Amino acid sequence: MSILGIFGKSAANEAADRILVATMQAARAPELYGEGRVPDTMDGRFELATAFATLALLRLKVAPDADRVAQAYTDKLFRLFDAGLREAGVGDLSVARRMKALAGAFYGRLAAYESALEDAVRLSTALGRNIWNDEFAPFAPELAGRLRALHVRQSGEPPQALEAAEPWLTGV
């Protein structure tokens, strides 16, 4: 059965909500931040949210009938980015411009990570370049390994598994 089964838009929104909670919990895992790791800044949080969202979207992309879930997830993710900008004090007049820049960055990273996920070195390089502006960032290989392991595991599970937080946080 597909991720939506016999349900429609409401089920897609509910699934997208659960996937968003799970991916954001993974992206905020404390062990990913700090000295020598991802900077705990708005930019650092955006970068990890994008990396984990990429995994979710790639898994949904190959799932039958998951288009609605993927679209709902993406919409909710960008609303979260918008809310983050507003909470950070970005003025209403600047939010649209900043969101356009974030969308460009997000989709650029999505494409880069998708093409690099099968190669640890390429993924590490892409993460290093995007997160630290350093293709040889010391934490990038570890982060790349974590993302690749999640990707492999998720590709062997039903898409509904994306909705549970625990698999995003453990077993990697």
The predicted-structure confidence for 12-25, as pLDDT tens digits, reads as follows: 999 999 999 999 99
Report residue 79's pLDDT band, with 50, 70 and 90 as the boundaries: very high
User: SS3 for 115?
Assistant: helix
Give 163's DSSP letter: G
Mean pLDDT along residues 59-63: 94
What pLDDT does residue 172 have? Answer: 45
d(CA 141, CA 69): 31
Q: What backbone torsions phi and psi does residue 145 show, to the nearest 5 degrees? A: -60, -40
The structural domains of the chain, with segments of one domain joined by +, span 9-169
Mean pLDDT along residues 57-75: 94
- pLDDT tens digit sequence for 89-148: 888 889 999 999 999 999 999 999 999 999 999 999 999 999 999 999 999 999 999 999
Token pair, residue 42, equals 């708005």
Token pair, residue 18, equals 């659960």
Give 162's DSSP letter: G
Task: Report which residue type is found at 66.
Answer: A
What pLDDT does residue 8 have? Answer: 60
> 3 pLDDT exceeds 60?
no
> 54 pLDDT exceeds 70?
yes
- pLDDT tens digit sequence for 27-52: 999 999 999 999 999 999 999 999 99
> 171 pLDDT exceeds 50?
no
What pLDDT does residue 42 have? Answer: 93
Closest CA to 144 of 70, 52, 41, 57: 52
What pLDDT does residue 165 have? Answer: 87
Q: What backbone torsions phi and psi does residue 23 show, to the nearest 5 degrees? A: -70, -35
Contact status, residue 147 vs residue 123, Cβ threshold 8 Å: yes
d(CA 25, CA 168): 8
- pLDDT tens digit sequence for 151-161: 999 999 999 99
What pLDDT does residue 2 have? Answer: 47
Distance of CA 149 to the CA centre of its chain: 14
Residues 107, 28, 167, CA angle at the centre, nearest 5°? 90
